[in-house]
Structure formats: C-alpha cells, structure tokens
Chain A
C-alpha cells in the first residue's frame, strides 16, 4: 500500500527567507509521480510542482524546488525568498505510474506560516 508521510504539521518562515517542507513515501513501484499541492485559505488545491520518478534531475518552478531522493523515498519542497502569499497548507502527494486512473495519495499536510 502506498503511504505518504509529512512529519511537520506546522512550519513558519520569515519573509524573504528559505524554508524546507519534508515528505516521505512508501511504495514498491519503480514508476510513479510525486507532487506538492498548495491549499490557501480559499481551500482550492493548486499544483505547485511535479517530479517524475524516472528523472534524476530535481524539478524547479521559479522559487519552488524539490530534493528528490529516490532510494530514501524522500521528496522535500524548498521555498526560496518566501512571500506572504506562500502561506498555506502544503500537501505532498504520490501517484503510481502505469495506470490511466491517476490515483493520488496525499499526506496530512504542513501548515506554513510566513511572518513579515
């Protein structure tokens, strides 16, 4: 069974600083996808970044980057130059490959607070 664990229920960061959110997952598959989603107070889920397991290069999207350690089954999100608008709940998610159904398995989330 696939499980996603986010061990930090809450994190905080000063504006303009860098913060790293942790995520580990458990799977026996070799082909899969990992995601970080952001849920602001509006509650709408927004895709932040995606990583394909077969890619060794870590994904980046502007100020957001990941540290993907496949052997350790670790997938952390780094937010650089944090902004007030980054404050949200962040969810790590896993999707198995080899399927057209796109099942997503989510962690419990990390609440990020950004201080001015």
Chain B
C-alpha cells in the first residue's frame, strides 16, 4: 500500500532563517506531487505541483521554492522565512491517471517567530 511521510512534524524558526520541509511517498511510482499551505481558519492553498523529477510548477508567487530531486521526494524550501510563512504545510500525491484524487500526508506545523 502507499504511504506518504512528512517531516518535521513541527518547526519553529526565526524570521530570516532558511527552511527545508521534506515529503516522501512509498509504494507508488511517478506520482504527481503537491505542496499546500493552510493558514489559520482557511482552506488549503496549492503552492507547487510536480509531474516528474525536476518538473516544478508554482501556483502562487512567494519566497518559497520546491524541488523534486527523486521520483518520490518533494522538498519545500525558503532562503529567508517571513512571518507570513507561518502555517500548516501539507504534501499530497496522486496517481497520474487518477490525478483528481489526492492523498495527503500528516503535515508540518511551521511557526515563524
């Protein structure tokens, strides 16, 4: 069966510090991968998606970036965090032929102080 992992589970970082969140998927090959952010009291906002290694598309301009160095690994990064980057970050995957059905990881709670 397929599983999706995210780490760390929680993170507290000062403004201006770098960020690296990791997401890995097991039990499937060549998935679509997604990064979402959930701000307090709001739904999820799609940040990045990837259909293959090295293929990243951005939905929202911001100081975040994403990379996909391996087929089942998706990384969310920032060189300098802002207070507004605080939130709950969720990674998701889907089978390319059933792209509309996404499965989410446990999430990372990021607090920028």
Contact = CB atoms under 8 A, between A and B. Distances in A.
A109 B101 contact: no
A101 B92 CA distance: 12
Main SS of chain B's interface residues? strand
B33 to A, nearest CB: 10
A31 B25 CA distance: 29
Contact of B107 (A4, A44, A107): A44
Nearest to A97: B100
Interface residues of A, number: 25
A95 to B, nearest CB: 4
A30 to B, nearest CB: 15
A55 interface: no
A31 to B, nearest CB: 10
Contacts of B105: 44
Contacts, number: 65
A45 B104 contact: yes
Interface of B: 32, 34, 41-46, 49, 51, 57, 59, 88, 90, 92, 94, 96, 99-107, 109
Given A42-B106, A102-B32, A109 B99 contact: no
Nearest to B95: A102
Contact of A33 (B43, B96, B100): B100
A106 B43 contact: yes
Contacts of B107: 43-44
Contacts of A97: 100
A47 interface: yes
Given A50-B100, A102-B34, 20 more contacts: A33-B100, A44-B106, A44-B107, A45-B90, A45-B92, A46-B104, A91-B43, A97-B100, A99-B99, A100-B51, A100-B96, A101-B51, A101-B99, A102-B49, A103-B49, A105-B46, A107-B43, A108-B41, A108-B43, A109-B42
A91 B36 CA distance: 14
A84 interface: no
B59 to A, nearest CB: 8
Interface string A15-53: 000000000000000000101000000111111001000
Interface string A77-102: 00000000000000101010101111
